[in-house]
Structure 1
Amino acid sequence: MDVFDQYAPFIQDYIYEHSWQTLRPIQVAAAEEIFGTNHNILLSASTASGKTEAAFFPILSEISQEKSDSIQVLYIAPLKALINDQYDRLTDLCEDTDIKVWRWHGDVAQSQKRKMLKKPSGILQITPESLESFMINKHMDIPHLFHGLKYVVIDELHSFLRSDRGGQTFCLIQRLSKLAGVEPRRIGLSATIGNLQAASEFLGAGSKYETVAPHVQNQKQVWRLSMEHFYQTDPQASSKNFDPAMIEPKTDKAPELADPGIGYIFEHTRGKKCLVFTNSREECEAVCQQLREYCRYNHEPDRFMIHHGNLSPALRETAEAAMKDEDSYMTTCATATLELGIDIGQLEAAYQIDAPFTVSGFLQRMGRTGRRGNPPEMHFVMREEHPETRAMLPDLIPWSLLQGIALVQLYIEEKWVEPPQPNRLPYSLLYHQTMSTLASSGEMTPAELASRVLTLAYFKNVSQDDYKILLRHLIKSDQIQRTENGGLILGLAGEKVVNNFKFYAVFQENEEFSVHAGSEELGTIVKPPPVGDKIAIAGRVWVVEDIDRKRHQVYCHGVDGRIPAYFGDVAGDIHPHILHRMRKALAESTVYPYLLNNAKARLTQMRDTCNIAGIPDKQLINLGGKMWALFPWTGSYAFLALERLIRIKCGDKINLRGFNSSRPYFMEFAMDASEEEFFKILREEAEKDFDPMDLVYPKEVPVFDKYDEYLPDELIRKEFAQSVLDVQEMKKCVREMTK
């Protein structure tokens, strides 16, 4: 039977009203699976390919045929703004039907929530955090509200694949299904899935249904893509040998000491509606301020807005409304909050300052443009300070430019996107779901609690022994309490944690730590790195000595040098494959067609400099005397494991000193060993069958995740050793380096 004929009449009318000539391939494939099977389905297709309609046309057709006094479809999305956007689309779609569309998040009026609780039916749209709150505070209502649940739709699935927030979401789906006595089918939607099989396994974990990903041939996409490089002061890389006719005349009047990269963005966004993406909230604020400074200097009206997670809903919604306004030509500076699938109207171009950390992030950001039939358009703006005259070789390499090239080439050449990250020992989330389960269900025996929590698919690698260690620690610290008849309930300390509204989220809020060197306060940072790592603040580099998490204070001392990256909010994990492609970009002679003049000149200059030094073939470079630089070309967490192998296992044998690391690009250190001796010792130590715990310093308790502070030290150390340090990839890296 033709797919169109299987749609409900109101869906057919909607298609006629919108003058659709044909259904898109993803819509046909989705309908065949939803109507004809009981599979879970992963719908992966390019941005603006009609994935939402692909899922909801057949789902709405099915649920429209039966009256229900239960929520039939649970739609989970990572952002409130995305829920608001899809709410409008679904409400429009269901206008002439009895299907109700509800949304549930912090900005929804209580009156609407009460109506849904009174007469549940249709579709409920919710964030993972609101669903967590629902499970705790509306626990007794779950069977009544969801007894007829047929589908769970997870939008922007890729954003859940590599974090505890994804683990939380799927734990909640399993817990809700068990409580309501239902087995809903799962439908995942995403534009940026690389490994369909791995993502399908993640989507279907803990479900009784098979998970399929219909293979749909995406239409060939044309990109408008460019990458330009700027030193933060003149002269630029192309100024030594360029044809003046090839350079666009500069028409902006730049404020004194202005950054040419920001001037470039200012000039090219005039009269257009654009997005400017940055990699952090702090940089977003700084860039927006600089662009507004240009407006004031040139006596132009302010045409720049800002959008990030720490702004009030009113400011965010003002920016979203201006972007949807077809007569507005404002440009918005944003972080990842606008990376996901909110329909923000007809944007002409996206600008990305420096390289993002993932191929997925690059594709999502570019996908914000190019809707309504135009090609996606993105312009990278790479910024760098002129290296000091005495700078060492590693500081002469423009890492961000190299990384940007690698991200683009990996997708062009291989259609590669980061695979799901199986979090092997997610103890922070284990604590969270244990506390949530107790808060919602009340007293339980230890065995009952373990059977509820450890059977969740996300905790498949957690042993019963580890869980006993956790429970004993939680009893000791009054997070949970043992009752007279041997049951477990929340303790006083635990109630304090659970009763705070911040408990519903498993991601870290941006908590600021004040940084102190002796009696001097240097400013604040978000998410301090582990003790011994370096931070950049107040124009200098500092080594972290101690972190007082209760008082939110960091103590440090100053050192020489520069650090191009920091550890913590920098999406911590840059995949090894990206570093491999960066190495290849350095070795090959290709001039990529999207590079503009400065970027071409800077790439040529970089390749020449590295070629003279023997990079990238040589991975250990002598910087003079006993100083060396090591370029491992591997991912962040394998790099971190290698750092520790060198310092802990090889340090004494090579008389290591002055160790300085810019993760995940290079390490600098002094040693007494020769190149040959260094690699021999490194290979011997890497090939030994050692316990990953050997790479954790004796008194180190490396807190990474939100609830680590409530865990026993031994579990934090174990998770760091086995789940953060990528020892297997590190050993592979050493084998490659020393063969």
Structure 2
Amino acid sequence: MAMTSLLPSPSDPFDQLHPGIRRWVWRQGWGDLRPVQRAAIPPIVAGGRDVIVAAQTAGGKTEAAFLPLISRVIDEPGGGFRLLYVSPLKALINDQFRRLDALCEALEVPVYRWHGDVSASQKQRARQRPAGVLLMTPESLEATFVRRGLEIPRLFGALDAVVIDELHAFIGAERGRQLQSLLHRLEVSIDRRITRIGLSATLGNMELAAGFLRPGEAERVALVEDAASDQSLRLQLRGFTRTTQAAPAQPPAVEADAEVEEDADEAVQRAMAEHLYKTLRGDRHLVFAGRRGTVEELSDLLRRISERDHVPNEFFPHHANLSRDHRAFVEERLREGPLPTTAVCTATLELGIDIGDIASVVQIGPPWSVASLRQRMGRSGRRAGHPATLRLLVAEQELRAGMPPPDTLRFDLTQGVAMVSLLLRHWVEPPRPASVDLSTLTHQTLALIAERGGVPAKFAWETLCRNGPFGLVPPTLYAELLRAMGRPEVGLIEQAADGTLLLGQAGERLVDHYDFYSVFQTSTEYRVVHGGTTLGTLPVVTPLAAGMTIIFSGRRWTVMAVVDREKLIEVTPSSAGRPPSFGGGGGDLHDTVVETMQAVYAAVEVPAFLDGTAKALLAEARMAYTRYGLAGSGVIDDEGHVWLFPWVGTVKLGTLALALRARGIDANMRGVALEIIGTTKDAVVMALDAIASAPMPNSLALAATVANRSIGKYDTFLTDDLLLHSFASQRLEPAALPGIARRLMKAAPL
């Protein structure tokens, strides 16, 4: 990345910074500012516009925002907090506190951090003498509103700007809608507009990111983007083969079948661990292993290998369930050195926590988004002259007779190849469009009432919906939500004689609990139960209905019932034959990722970043693609099972499955395909023809067929009708169905 000199020039943006800031920069020995830092100075110093600063990880976004912002407030740092920094992670706040404290101490600008791990005495000092810069999580800001709503004008009345770090991590999530609401409520409380500065990784559609930062005014948001980078990349996708003995199509018992699969998984995990041990020892690395259980298992394997070889262990787990002290220990080893350290982690180290110079990043299995892969990759290669290094490890089942299409098509491997290909093209998923999130709106209604001690219904709708982030909710739907919250059996709110909304008894208990300040659920896993025995837990992100089949514990099960409010799935063994090992679940794939997977199958070129095993697996996948005739038809008949390959993302695929089930077709999601059991190919094609020629299906009618409609933390307080609205808006895309069906019909006509 090219840099420009810091020596003053008549048109140099550096000259717009406060002299104290310029002196501090010179004392740091910086020879230059990065282009994105220079470009951010004029719009931020001038004020009057919201700004998004977009750059790669470690691209200098923090300084790009705070150097000009502190220049704006340095001469009057008191009278209330002047700058508010909001981060999704407490650890990131701690990092930024260390970085800003050095700058602000020299300039005599106070800096405070405020989150659950900060002592009450420190918070009290900040509250008594608000000034300078305040660093918070959204949950801590929410707690301040709820507990000290009347103090908001005093604390934030002089606020000059809000900085939202890791903006991309908020977009499209419940937490993001909460943050949007908090920022709007802050402006309502102090009765003026506040400049918003978003710090983000580069996204596929920055206009949607601007619309998130300032809803309804995206065109007024200035974008400072540093999309170019001359950093080189070292990359390898390494394949592993999961070898198992052939098992009968109908296992005699769950335990026997599970044992066979467990042995195969353990063998692959051991092979991966041996590879990581030989490759990573002696430096600092991150290994993103997915779920917490995998993190613990892989960390334990690496520790035991170290003990076997009588060498010090340098492999440590890192996930949210571990103690704060342990996480801090691992982070400090990575950041400070000099001991070689590898953190085997979940997504906890994906965002911008300062962990120093990382030699390489390892991804176990393909992630669910290119944006996530890019964010993780950006953790390495921060040292000048050092390339970013990314290793992707993917395991697939050994080929054997009778394997279903998803296994022979090597979904995981192909997804990994597609994501790396998109990464190399600098493509990332665009933010999701706004949706009707009644769960978060329920939470924000309670928070607004608690903040002000009571509000008129009209004021609540105008604050949260008409002028706030829930603009898709009309007055009639909001009135229905309020009635649902006030039902006697719910008791969240009640209405005074003059129409003021007040907290009900249940609402007071809910708001008084520490868990109230967060809007996201800590777990979305369902218990899977057969005959009164719990088989385990399963993350469910796709629509479920009675009669569908799921893949769990190495076999196929028929869903008998889904008890949504208890997060329970009752199952019975299915007689539908051997299940594919790829069962889906875990996240949503974007349409472009799945379309690129199809392009990978159809191509003849072999990516240079594949190792020998991965090349062989890709060759097997392409042979299966040709054998099934998927280049010409997305509808295939395989040993009595019909498979549909519409090559669309997870949300559209799930919507198609529901539309087919509404027409009597037993469609079940299997990765990027639909498996249809007990129906002929002709019957499936006729159903597709009907969907292609009929008007767009009603989204509420489709949602009514789904058993697991509760996807938000506060959905449990909604009526069934409200759940339909919320689920349909967030999880269904019926408008796409006629076009999808026509494409499948064109390839497989009647």
Normalization by structure 1: what TM-score?
0.91
Asked if 2 retains the 8 angstrom alpha-carbon contact of 1:370 and 1:376, the reply is yes
Does the aligned pair in 2 maintain the 1:104–1:125 contact within 8 Å? yes
> What secondary structure is seen at the aligned counterpart in 2 of 1:166?
helix
Aligned to 1:594: 609
Alpha-carbon distance in 2 for matches of 1:258, 1:527: 24
Partner amino acid for 2:655?
A: A
Deviation at 1:25, TM superposition (A): 1.0
2:641 aligned with 1:627: yes
Give the whole-Å Cα distance in 2 for the aligned partners of 1:665 and 1:294: 39
Q: Distance in 1 between matches of 2:618 and 2:441?
A: 46
Tell me the secondary structure at the aligned position of residue 642 of structure 1. helix
Cα gap change, 1:550 to 1:261, in 2 (>3 Å): same
After superposition, the Cα gap between the structure-2 partners of 1:322 and 1:580, relative to the gap in structure 1 and judged at 3 Å, is same
The answer to whether residue 696 in structure 2 is matched with residue 684 in structure 1 is: no
Which residue pairs with 1:242 in the alignment?
Answer: none
1:307 CA displacement: 1.1
Q: 1:73 to 1:535 in 2, by over 3 A?
A: farther
Matched residue, 1:643: 657
For 1:136 and 1:606, locate their aligned partners in 2 and report how far apart those are by CA, in whole Å: 55
Residues 304 and 332 of structure 1 are in contact (CA less than 8 Å); yes or no, is this contact kept in structure 2?
yes
Matches of 2:322 and 2:553 in 1, distance apart?
A: 24
The amino acid that maps onto 1:397 is L
Inter-partner Cα distance in structure 2 for 1:699 and 1:226? 41
Partner of 1:452: 463
1:93 aligns with 2:103: yes
In structure 2, relative to structure 1, the CA distance for the partners of 1:257 and 1:704 (3 Å cut) is closer
Question: Which residue of structure 2 lines up, in the alignment, with residue 489 of structure 1?
Answer: 502
The 3 A distance-change label for structure 1 pair 731 and 129 is: farther
Distance 1:61 1:696, change over 3 A: closer
Residue aligned with 2:107, SS:
coil
| Structure 2 unpaired stretches of 5+ | 1-10, 246-264
Aligned-residue identity in percent: 33
Deviation digits for residues 73-113 of structure 1 (CA, Å, limit 9, x no counterpart)? 11111111111111100001112122111111000011110
Residue 469 of structure 2 aligns to a residue whose secondary structure is: helix
Q: Which residue of 2 aligns with 1:266?
A: 277
Any gaps of 5 or more consecutive residues in structure 1?
236-253
1:216-615 aligned within 5 A: 216=226, 218-233=228-243, 259-373=270-384, 374-413=386-425, 415-476=426-487, 477-510=490-523, 514-525=527-538, 530-532=544-546, 535-548=550-563, 553-559=568-574, 561-562=578-579, 564=581, 570-571=586-587, 573-615=588-630
Q: Which segment drifts farther, 425-434 or 30-39?
A: 30-39
Q: CA deviation at 1:699?
A: 7.8
Deviation, structure 1 residue 730: 3.3
Matching residue of 2:715: 708
Greater CA deviation, 480-489 or 264-273? 480-489
5 Å-filtered alignment, 1:32-43, equals 32-43=42-53
Query: Is the 2:550–2:558 contact (alpha carbons within 8 Å) kept by the matching residues of 1?
Result: yes
CA distance in 1, matches of 2:74, 2:447: 34
| 1:341, distance to aligned residue in structure 2 (A) | 0.8
How far the C-alpha of 1:158 sits from its partner, in A, is: 0.7
Q: CA RMSD in A?
A: 2.4
Q: Report if aligned partners of 1:272, 1:329 keep a CA contact under 8 Å in 2.
A: yes
Aligned pair partner of 1:199 in 206, 209, 213: 209
Structure 2 CA distance for aligned equivalents of residues 578 and 281 of structure 1: 25
Q: 1:394 to 1:432 in 2, by over 3 A?
A: same
- Post-superposition Cα deviations, 1:682-736, rounded to whole Å, max 9, x if no partner, equal 1332342231223234584611111111111101112222331122233332233
SS at match of 1:382: strand
Tell me, what secondary structure is at the counterpart of 2:117? Answer: coil
SS of the residue corresponding to residue 438 of structure 1 reads helix
Change (3 A) 1:112 1:427: same
Secondary structure at 2:466 match in 1: coil
Q: Relative to structure 1, is the Cα distance of residues 328 and 78 closer, same or farther in structure 2, using a 3 angstrom cutoff?
A: same
1:737, distance to aligned residue in structure 2 (A): 2.4
Cα 1:439–1:616, aligned 2, differ >3 Å: closer, same or farther? Answer: farther
How far has the Cα of 1:255 moved from its partner? 9.8
Of 655, 664, 670, which residue of structure 2 is paired with 1:662? 670
**Secondary structure of 1:213 counterpart:** strand
Kept after mapping to 1: 8 A contact 2:494/2:504:
yes
Q: Which moved more, 1:661-670 or 1:206-215?
A: 206-215
Using the TM superposition, name which of 717-726 and 596-605 deviates more. Answer: 717-726
2:253 corresponds in structure 1 to none
Change beyond 3 A, Cα 1:204–1:431: same
Distance 1:584 1:288 in 2: 36
Letter in 2 for 1:85: D
**Of 25, 44, 69, the match for 2:35:** 25
Q: Which residue of 2 aligns with 1:246?
A: none
The 1:447/1:256 distance shift into structure 2, 3 A limit, reads closer
Distance 2:459 2:150 in 1: 18
Paired residues of 1:479 and 1:492 also in contact (CA < 8 A): yes
2:658/2:705 contact within 8 Å kept: no
SS in 1 for 2:610: coil
> Which amino acid in structure 2 is aligned with residue 641 of structure 1?
T
Decide which of 722, 726, 732 is 2:739's aligned counterpart: 732
Structure 1 residue 320, shift from structure 2 partner: 0.7
SS of corresponding position for 2:387: coil
Task: Report the equivalent of 1:672.
Answer: 680
TM-score, normalised to structure 2, is 0.90
Q: Is the 2:591–2:649 Cα contact (8 Å) retained in structure 1?
A: yes
Deviation at 1:484, TM superposition (A): 3.7
Number of equivalenced pairs: 709
The SS at the match of 2:433 is: coil
Distance 1:616 1:323, change over 3 A: farther
